[in-house]
Amino acid sequence: MAMTDLLSAEDIKKAVGAFSAAESFNYKKFFEMVGLKKKSPEDVKKVFHILDKDRSGFIEEEELKFVLKGFTPEGRDLSDKETKALLAAGDKDGDGKIGAD
């Protein structure tokens, strides 16, 4: 399954473009721009599984660095600071990774 099976290619392009500058990534705005906020929990889990490159059931810090590339190959890598902020927002139990739930 491709990201564009779940989200609009145009929305993805706009969202990735909006955060192309270093240190500009805002995960709340990004997820809203790509349309994830309007998706069902099942569709959000499908997106999660696309981003979980090693299929561990979790998205670890190393995978988060490349989250924009998970939406489109043209995406940039997140900085360490951006990656840590995204991990902190999603890591509810403090284990250093984000689970699907």
* All structural domains of the chain with their residue ranges: 1-91
Binding residues for Ca(2+): 52, 54, 56, 58, 63, 91, 93, 95, 97
pLDDT band of 101, cuts 50, 70, 90 = confident
Averaged pLDDT of the chain:
95
pTM across the whole model:
0.91
Please give the C-alpha separations between residue 84 and each of 8, 29, 30, 42, 88, in angstroms, as whole numbers: 27, 17, 16, 26, 6
Q: What is the mean pLDDT of residues 76-86?
A: 96
Structure tokens of 93?
């139990």
H helix intervals, 1-101? 9-18, 27-33, 41-51, 61-64, 67-71, 80-90
Whether the Cβ atoms of residue 36 and residue 7 lie closer than 8 Å to each other: yes
User: Residue ranges for the binding site?
Assistant: 52, 54, 56, 58, 63, 91, 93, 95, 97
Q: Does domain 1-91 have CATH number 1.10.238.10?
A: yes
- Using an 8 Å Cβ cutoff, are 54 and 46 in contact? no
pLDDT mean over 71-87: 96
pLDDT in tens, 57-68: 999 999 999 999
Mean pLDDT across 6-16: 97
